[in-house]
Amino acid sequence: MKDKNNKLYLISVVFVAILGGLLFGYDTAVISGAEKGLQAFFMGATDFVYSDAIHGFTCSSALVGCIIGSAFSGLAASRLGRKRSLILAGIFFFLSACGSYYPEFLLFDYGKPSFNLMVAFNFYRILGGFGVGLASAICPMYIAEVSPSNMRGTLVSWNQFAIIFGQLAVYFINFLLLGEHTNPIIEETAKGVYNVLPSSDPWTISTGWRYMFGSECFPAGLFTLLVCFVPETPRYLAMIGQDMKALAVLERINGATKAKEILAEIKSTVEEKKEKLFTYGWVVIFVGIMLSVFQQAVGINAVLYFAPRIFESMNMGNPMVQTVIMGIVNILFTLVAIFTVEKWGRKPLLIYGSIGMAIGAAGVAMTNLLGLPAIVSVVSIMVYSASFMFSWGPICWVLIAEIFPNTIRGAAVAIAVAFQWIFNFIVSSTFVPMYNMRLLGMDNFGHIFAYALYGVICVLAAIFVWKMVPETKGKTLEDMTRLWNDRRNKK
């Protein structure tokens, strides 16, 4: 029996790891349902003016923590290990959820908006972002390091499924929490000056947004508890000299005979020497960074974070319902990647997805330019989002988790993921001003420009993948060391 692999054990370990992905999606998307109530709440402050710019930062403040957390992830993965880093991420998720629900804790009067309370709220959101940054880098790394090579792409792709499922879950939970209540009505009374209409639902302004943020406490607590029971990855254990523990984990996943072969291969790469970041040349780091940059620069998170507001501007019914429908479409197309990544490979999915996104973005731009029916724009957004979900969504994480050699993976993944969150912040914080931009006498100029820009970036992403990204289907993590060595030596 010892020579047989244990798929149930592998699946249970990976399931716990992808809960980190679910929290990643949950934490980053919870703002979509809460942001209008939050905006109306802080607009009631008397000691400062809660401007559009401040609201944009408040909606994006978690991304500041994401940048810090992802940059720290390399050090955490190397010093604390993959498992303890995930426990740390879970603790940050939990503290953030509690603090965002009740930012007044011990310091301020409940329900009284002020500048200092807004700072406290943003602090808790940044804490959650730190957890997201850690989880976004380490969850796919953990899954990749415990998975057999023939299943790695599929299992890492499940992490993206969990991210999208987390987003869908929070869309649905926000919808249920809102119930018969309505989002506040905020109108522009002068350029850059907004007021909350007296007819707005007071429950949504005082309480609704708190429940939305607080609902994350439950999955965050469960994740933190369950991570305590999973093993450290065999590749990390081998790197710190705990070969017998590494072998024990490998035996449970791969069987005794295969485990010895894998351990020998791991040791042949991790024992070479303490290698510097650019040991394998600059191209491998550049490719990892650009995968992350393109994943965000195509603009997907601008759509995901502000989906209710975008659908509301199209005047086609309940925007929360349309947001939930988009979440379901995203789930279905993420499954396409999961079940095809080991058959079709990484590069074809990225290229086809880029083309689909370009078509969807062009459809939205043309709808606004030519005044086509709003349904065309809704369908185009769905095409754009669905194309991302079977390509750049999961496949970028697969490649980042597997493309780097063992000895530089922790630092290289940290750098790549930090760039991802930097560009996530740039895209998210610039979308609303760009989307609302008015030029050339056109009220909808920003709608056209934003999606035309994203469409062009999608085309550039396809060209980049075609020219520079190696296919990693069927290769072991140790094969990547040889691949980049060979590329470096040919120059």
pLDDT in tens, 298-313: 988 777 656 666 666 6
Q: What is the three-state SS of 413-476?
A: HHHHHHHHHHHHHHHHHHHHHHHCCCECCECCHHHHHHHHHHHHHHHHHHHHHHHHCCCCCCCC
The CATH classification number of 1-230 equals: 1.20.1250.20
Which one, of 232, 86, 69, lies nearest residue 145 by Cα?
A: 232
Which pLDDT score is estimated for 100?
95
User: CB–CB of 136/421 below 8 Å?
Assistant: yes
Residue 433 has pLDDT above 90, yes or no: no
Range 241-248 average pLDDT: 90
Residue 313: per-residue pLDDT: 64
- Kindly report the pTM of this predicted structure: 0.78
318 pLDDT more than 70? no
Phi/psi for 195 (5° steps) reads: -130, 150
> What is the pLDDT, as a whole number, of residue 315?
64
Residues 6 or more apart whose CB falls under 8 angstroms from that of 15 comprise: none
194 backbone dihedrals φ, ψ, rounded to 5°: -125, 150
* Helical residues (DSSP H) of 80-190, grouped into ranges: 82-101, 115-146, 152-178
Q: How high is the mean pLDDT of the chain?
A: 85
274-491, CATH topology level: Growth Hormone; Chain: A; (1.20.1250)
Question: Which of 234-238, 273-277, 323-327 is predicted least confidently?
Answer: 273-277
**pLDDT (0 to 100) of residue 218:** 94
Residue from 186, 178, 180 nearest 210 by CA: 178
Per-residue pLDDT band at 1 (split at 50, 70, 90): very low
Residue-range domain boundaries for the chain? 1-230, 274-491
Cβ atoms within 10 Å, residue 375: 11
pLDDT digits (tens, 9 = 90+) for 279-303: 677 888 899 999 999 999 998 877 7
pLDDT tens sequence across 437-448: 777 767 778 778
